[in-house]
Structure 1
Amino acid sequence: MKKILIVCFAFLLSIPFYGQGIPPREEVNLDEVYSQYNLSGEGVLVVILDRGIDYRHPDFIDENGNTRIAYIYDMLDPTGAGSNPYGIGTIFTQAQIDAALDNNDPPLSTDRYGHGTATTGIAAGNGSGTAGLEFQGVAPKATIISIKITHDPFPAFGSEPGQSGFFDPSYLPVAMQFAEEKIAELGLPAVTLMNIGSIGGPTDGTSNIARAIDDFVTNTGTPFLCGVGDDGGNDNHASGTISSSQTIEIEIQKGETGNVRFDLWYSEDDRFTVSIERPNNTVHGPFTAPNGPNASADQNLGDIQIYHRGANVEFWQATSNRRELMIDISGATGTYKVILEGTQINNGGFHATLNPSTYYNNNKFLTFVTSGYSINDYASSNLVITPGDYVVQNEWIDINGIPRDITGQGEAGELWIGSSSSPTQDGRLGIDFVAPGEVCHAAYADNTYYESFSFNVLQNSNGLYGIQNAVSAAAPLSMGVIALMLEVNPNLTPQQVKNILHDTSRQDANTGTVPNDTWGYGKLDALAAINAAYASLGVSENNSLEATIFPNPSNREFTMVIPNTISKIKVELYNTLGQVLQTTYYESTNSINYSIDGASGLYFLKVMNEETNLQKTIKVIKN
């Protein structure tokens, strides 16, 4: 989502989130999770590939003044490229970050835009920028790795200089290699989020990045998230079938200045000639197709660039045996026609996308329009978890006490207009579920582009929190819930996590029958997901052995009653990581007084009749 950030601030009244952010927190039942289970993400690693982080923000510093960040990998900082095994960027360790904080040094790495800081705050900020922790993130004690893989352009503001954009997709596999190695090094249950991606590419799970995501999930055994994208709400997908000797005209309305990219994919077994007609009716072409999978037939027409590539030389290094026709149009606004003639047809089908083409601009297809298919290529990976975004509230009060709201992007309970839609280009469901990203609250750092807009900075936030929206908010909210699930059961596999999120998602009048291509399996329900995570531990209150415990919750002392006297009883106390904390044996009794001396929180007591092997495991809460 290199473009997602631009979207968020092109509409400045529709940005960020309350790590839990009261309406989103209530919407996904996080309040109940915290009150029932006392979870915090402690002992879980969250890895975020985004625009970096301002590590000086209080959200990422613990109660002892130490950073909660294990590593920052700033891939855009060239100073350390010669001293790390990846040959790109600079790696900062926890010790280096702590030293910089202690010495009040100039920042080692920055997020001048603000998106990466906000994302991390949503997933794992501790909310310590305010006394009441009102803006705390979902997993406030999780360990953090931040990988800066891109940054977005913005103009100069205040006394701050502007910034040009940068994105190099070749950095992504390197970022995943770094993440994979650090997950292994730290030895913590982990969840990774790549909070970028926009429409375009093969979107069928076969690009080099989609395959790298699959490899990452397989190699690490940990879940990987990528939001579906912010490309919903416009006619930015066209598809159809061309027969032999047929000529079709795909009309494009270029309603915005700057470049618009047309990206079309079709079978290597087919051949299309290409012409393009300008708004003034000038026609260029026809240009013949490349003559094989390793051939190119590119044309430079000044303000129109045509890149026609065989299946082995297209830009995404996909394995789907499809050709790519990419056309960049940077000329005048107006209606352009891409004219295709089928000269050799065995399949004839094609999919085409436009970028940028979103709900708020005027670039769109006028012919062969097909709804859906707007998810980003990374989200088409076979093993990725893909959340979309829906609306829970559209209002907030800014730092000056002025009420603000968003209009025209969906009402409470509805899908956010910009949330991308399935399916993938190979026909799979591309959305797992949706989370409430409209609007959320998140960490804002000083002197960032985000923070420069006071109407997005929240009331009573000490200037440290503002709004975040779009899929860029829904995805880290979802990540935080997965971190809590892994706190409950660190052994959950990526597929188990995905299955739980599918099975526990809520349906309502807005989602309709699920699964479907806009809502996936429905709306995220954190409490149901956490309950399912506990159930995955094998905990049951209905096993063969009869036993009851009271009071529950208790401050320390519990009484366990078994209806019949048992000669040999074994009682094991477990924490939420499944670790045995103590084992106690009793003889010839049916009543046991039991004490838990550990910290407050959730525990499990397994009671076993050693003669019959009957047992029962009961959840107990120590206040």
Structure 2
Amino acid sequence: MKKTLLLALSAAALATPALHAQIAVKQGGKMDIKIERLTRDFNEAKAKSRTAAADTLVNVIVTCHDAETVAGNIQTRGGQAHQLSATLLTAEIPASRLAEIAALKEVENIAAPQQFQPLMTTSRRMTNADKVQRGEGLETPYTGKGVVIGVIDQGFQYNHIAFKDEQMKTRVHSIWNLSVKNSSPVKGVPVGQNYDLIAGAAGHGTHVTGIAAGSRIAGNEYYGMAPEATIVMIPSTLSEDQIMKGAQYIKSVAQELDYPWVTNMSFGSQIGPHDGSGTDDQYLSNLCGAGGIIVGAMGNEGAQKIHAAHEFTAAGQIKKIVVSAPAEGYAYNCIDLWGNATDGKQHMEVTPCWYNPTTRKYTALSDEDMKKVAPTYGGEINAQNHKEHYTFYINHTAFLNFTGNTQARFALEIKSLEPNITFHAWSNSGWGEFERPTSDVLAGNSSYLVGEGAASIPNAIAVASYTGAGNWTAASDGQSYMVPGETSGSMSSFSSPGPWLGNEKKPTVSAPGGNIASAFNKYESFKKEDVFITNAVNSRTGAKQTNYNLTSITNSDYYGIKSGTSMATPAVTGIVALWLQANPTLTPEQVKEIIRNTSTRYQASDTDGWGAKSGYGKIDAYAGLKVALELSTVNGIGETTIGSDSPVTLQKSANSWRILFNRAEPVANISVMTMSGNVVSRQALCGMQPGNEAVVSLEELPAGAYLIRISTQGADLTRKVIR
């Protein structure tokens, strides 16, 4: 059962040693910090008002023993509920009824859903996906056919030609716009609606989906990693509850079609425990399994000092954290602090305060002070991981007005109650970085930034970014542009590094995410003269428009450049779809093992092949596909070489052919012959098992044309090779 820490805060000025702010531990609380504060504010407003306080519906996530019973109770109290599992549901509950629902014996915890944000030709080439799609080195090409790619995002242009096949029919199986209240899934593209209407998305979802699964039409060079995959689009505000519902739906579509699936999550946050213990982390991780993979973005905070950590060696030691003013366009500061101990006990005293740069002194903020500047603040023993947790959201304008000092900084003082206590603290992108104005303050750094909401899901593939193209040519003026400091093939400076506080190493892998060309949404935040637009195609045929000046949103679709781990993530999503086409029962652990064994190591990697910035290196679609085939124990789907007529997969190179057996073969004979039928070499094989391999060397053969014949009990294949 969750325990809530109530902060007893002193209003006196902090000295060194610190004030001994007493923190009482309240037993038996079922609400997280945000919901408890919201309930308290509602009750206070109701007590002060002569009329009834506004009873708004509150979005929550409910963990319980019996979701069906709890859902019924919510509905009878004027709310709505969506059951995710037997023990988990998302809901909208009237603020006046939150306490009643929390009091139900079936309810374990009620939490506010976290809000996440989107993280913003060369890509295929640099990952060797082009080899897979052309069939180079393999008997047949892999295109993601028969695999569901689900994308949870915002800013989708549903009718972009990138999502149509060669007959101009949509490849979008269904769309569920979760940003619209009480919406339902729609098969195909909604009639009369070409995009998702989510303001400020800047076409993010369109670009992301194009990288993962954009169609290859009429010679258009801008196509995705898996251009024949089945697409499911989930427009969303990217709240935690919507993400869980969307992921559940994507899996249900794949199950209905009997396809494997991979879900792309190009969003995140730095607020959370960074250990995979969150309710959403656990639920989404458990959705994964054989033939079901989630791929998540690491984040774009690699150059921001929004993390701090410390290990106390003795009781009574004190450290402070100071956060800078938020970036332009942001209204809040945030500090989210987590202890490492999982024993459900309090090990620290935390006192909020403010720092005066002129006097270089700290002043404590009382509970009454905090009510004036912080919409959410408090401490708890977290219900999921039993760690000590403190969170502070500070309205920066209200804070400056309260202090009367335009240079004031929000700060925390942390005091250890016993030795060997470690904590980590994070801010969020744009919400202020950690400064060190005095010697007793922890310096901020850019470590431990595995993004919450996606990359921190235990079973997810966590993706970092390296730069794709060094430059690009704008369609509007024909000029070449580049981003200073980012060179092709180098790790992107913005890519968030690990390590992770969970039980494995993250990031898992890196992929091209800097300067990536893909589909643009022409209906939202679109400017034809934008130098990031690289190409326009006829929206009816897909042919490249030869006169860019004559293009418009009525006759053209557009492609252009974006950067971010948001762009690296769908590259991996599409590549995993290729692997699932070859081996539809791959598990998350098998995919990670393929990545560990086949990725191209980055020069800064550690001795075991892993680096905090690059993971296990740069993903190699071609090498990974070969391993996926070796791991296959069932027939593939779509246009693969696995099946009754094709007992082997052929990997061809100039000097040798590698023959991979897709199934058990008691007897097999491999012969190399001249075109006139003379046998040059022969191998007689017995007891071949799936994944066994035979190699035919061509190095000693004179130049010319030859035939390679592979005979088994059920098939006889002959292929021509030019030496």
TM-score by length of 2: 0.65
Measure, in 1, the Cα distance between the counterparts of 2:302 and 2:424.
Answer: 16
CA deviation string 1:146-190 (max 9, x = no partner):
11122xxxxxxxxxxxxxxxx432222222222222221121111
Q: Match for residue 155 of structure 1?
A: none
Q: Match for residue 587 of structure 1?
A: none
- Of stretches 516-525 and 303-312 in structure 1, the one that deviates more from structure 2 is 303-312
Q: Structure 1 residues 371, 60: CA separation in 2 closer, same or farther (over 3 Å shift)?
A: closer
Indicate which of 47, 51, 56 corresponds to 2:150: 47
Residue 285 (1) aligns with residue 388 (2): no
Measure, in 2, the Cα distance between the counterparts of 1:123 and 1:607.
Answer: 38
SS in 2 for 1:414: coil
Q: Match for residue 272 of structure 1?
A: 349
Residue 237 (1) aligns with residue 325 (2): no
Name which one, 1 or 2, has greater alpha-carbon Rg: 2
CA contact (8 A) 2:575 2:621 kept: yes
CA contact (8 A) 1:237 1:371 kept: yes
CA deviation string 1:299-349 (max 9, x = no partner):
63533456122114xxxx632433223242523564625242426336521
Q: Which residues in structure 2 correspond to 1:423-442 (within 5 Å)?
A: 423-426=499-502, 428-442=504-518
Measure, in 2, the Cα distance between the counterparts of 1:133 and 1:620.
Answer: 31
The alignment of Structure 1 onto Structure 2 pairs a total of residues equal to 520
Indicate which of 321, 328, 350 corresponds to 2:394: 328
SS in 1 for 2:124: helix
CA contact (8 A) 1:433 1:524 kept: yes
Residue 549 of structure 1, CA deviation: 5.4
**Percent of aligned pairs with the same amino acid:** 22
Q: Match for residue 396 of structure 1?
A: 472
SS in 1 for 2:176: strand
Q: Match for residue 246 of structure 2?
A: 175
Q: Match for residue 226 of structure 2?
A: 139
CA deviation string 1:216-249 (max 9, x = no partner):
114x651111011111112111000344223322
Indicate which of 200, 212, 227 corresponds to 2:283: 212
CA contact (8 A) 1:559 1:593 kept: no
Residue 535 of structure 1, CA deviation: 2.2
Name the aligned partner's letter for residue 227 of structure 2.
P
Q: Match for residue 292 of structure 1?
A: none
Name the aligned partner's letter for residue 631 of structure 2.
S
Q: Structure 1 residues 217, 262: CA separation in 2 closer, same or farther (over 3 Å shift)?
A: same
Q: Match for residue 697 of structure 2?
A: none
Q: Structure 1 residues 565, 388: CA separation in 2 closer, same or farther (over 3 Å shift)?
A: closer
CA contact (8 A) 2:156 2:521 kept: no
CA contact (8 A) 1:202 1:318 kept: no
CA contact (8 A) 1:548 1:561 kept: no
Residue 471 of structure 1, CA deviation: 0.4
Indicate which of 495, 502, 509 corresponds to 2:589: 495
Indicate which of 59, 63, 73 corresponds to 2:176: 73
Name the aligned partner's letter for residue 304 of structure 2.
N
Q: Match for residue 551 of structure 2?
A: none
Measure, in 2, the Cα distance between the counterparts of 1:68 and 1:531.
Answer: 27
Q: Match for residue 31 of structure 1?
A: 130
SS in 1 for 2:409: strand
SS in 1 for 2:268: coil
CA contact (8 A) 1:269 1:347 kept: no
CA contact (8 A) 2:673 2:681 kept: no
- Of stretches 450-459 and 234-243 in structure 1, the one that deviates more from structure 2 is 450-459
Q: Which has the higher contact order (CA 8 A, sep 6+)?
A: 1
Q: Match for residue 268 of structure 2?
A: 197
Measure, in 1, the Cα distance between the counterparts of 2:512 and 2:708.
Answer: 45
Q: Match for residue 571 of structure 2?
A: 477
Measure, in 1, the Cα distance between the counterparts of 2:625 and 2:684.
Answer: 35
Measure, in 1, the Cα distance between the counterparts of 2:718 and 2:285.
Answer: 36
Measure, in 1, the Cα distance between the counterparts of 2:179 and 2:163.
Answer: 21
Measure, in 2, the Cα distance between the counterparts of 1:308 and 1:619.
Answer: 72
Q: Match for residue 582 of structure 1?
A: none
Residue 411 of structure 1, CA deviation: 2.1
Measure, in 1, the Cα distance between the counterparts of 2:718 and 2:260.
Answer: 22
SS in 2 for 1:547: strand
Q: Which residues in structure 2 correspond to 1:141-540 (within 5 Å)?
A: 141-150=228-237, 167-218=238-289, 221-242=291-312, 243-254=314-325, 256-257=327-328, 258-266=331-339, 267=341, 268-279=345-356, 283-285=362-364, 300-305=370-375, 307-312=377-382, 318-331=384-397, 332=400, 334=407, 336=409, 338-342=411-415, 344-345=417-418, 347-357=420-430, 363-366=433-436, 367-378=442-453, 379-426=455-502, 428-451=504-527, 454-459=530-535, 461=537, 462=545, 463-511=557-605, 513=607, 514-537=609-632
CA contact (8 A) 2:319 2:414 kept: yes
- Of stretches 460-469 and 473-482 in structure 1, the one that deviates more from structure 2 is 460-469
Q: Match for residue 156 of structure 1?
A: none
CA deviation string 1:533-573 (max 9, x = no partner):
22223757388956335689x9xxx999995999xx999xx
CA contact (8 A) 2:378 2:392 kept: yes
Q: Structure 1 residues 25, 120: CA separation in 2 closer, same or farther (over 3 Å shift)?
A: same
SS in 1 for 2:280: helix
SS in 2 for 1:126: coil
CA deviation string 1:507-527 (max 9, x = no partner):
243546421211111111111
Q: Match for residue 92 of structure 2?
A: none
Name the aligned partner's letter for residue 203 of structure 2.
G
Measure, in 2, the Cα distance between the counterparts of 1:320 and 1:606.
Answer: 61
Measure, in 2, the Cα distance between the counterparts of 1:91 and 1:455.
Answer: 36
SS in 2 for 1:223: strand
SS in 1 for 2:534: coil
Measure, in 1, the Cα distance between the counterparts of 2:419 and 2:678.
Answer: 75
Residue 25 of structure 1, CA deviation: 2.1
SS in 1 for 2:250: helix
Name the aligned partner's letter for residue 470 of structure 1.
G
Q: Which residues in structure 2 correspond to 1:87-106 (within 5 Å)?
A: 89-94=183-188, 97=189, 100=191, 105-106=192-193
Q: Match for residue 108 of structure 2?
A: none
CA deviation string 1:393-421 (max 9, x = no partner):
23111111343434345322221011011
Residue 273 of structure 1, CA deviation: 3.2
Measure, in 1, the Cα distance between the counterparts of 2:368 and 2:241.
Answer: 22
CA deviation string 1:273-308 (max 9, x = no partner):
303114466855365xxxxxxxxx796353345612
Residue 117 of structure 1, CA deviation: 0.9
Name the aligned partner's letter for residue 400 of structure 1.
S
Name the aligned partner's letter for residue 208 of structure 2.
T
Name the aligned partner's letter for residue 525 of structure 2.
Y
CA RMSD after TM alignment: 3.8
SS in 1 for 2:427: strand
SS in 2 for 1:302: helix
Measure, in 1, the Cα distance between the counterparts of 2:435 and 2:718.
Answer: 56
CA contact (8 A) 2:155 2:521 kept: no
SS in 2 for 1:46: strand
Measure, in 2, the Cα distance between the counterparts of 1:259 and 1:343.
Answer: 28
Name the aligned partner's letter for residue 183 of structure 1.
A
Measure, in 2, the Cα distance between the counterparts of 1:491 and 1:274.
Answer: 51
SS in 1 for 2:381: coil
Measure, in 1, the Cα distance between the counterparts of 2:501 and 2:684.
Answer: 64
Name the aligned partner's letter for residue 516 of structure 1.
G
Unaligned runs of 5+ in 1: 9-20, 82-88, 151-166, 288-296, 577-591, 595-604, 611-615
Measure, in 1, the Cα distance between the counterparts of 2:163 and 2:590.
Answer: 29
Unaligned runs of 5+ in 2: 1-113, 401-405, 437-441, 538-544, 546-556, 634-647, 649-657, 692-706
Q: Structure 1 residues 140, 418: CA separation in 2 closer, same or farther (over 3 Å shift)?
A: same
Measure, in 1, the Cα distance between the counterparts of 2:504 and 2:708.
Answer: 55
Q: Structure 1 residues 277, 306: CA separation in 2 closer, same or farther (over 3 Å shift)?
A: farther
Residue 255 of structure 1, CA deviation: 5.6
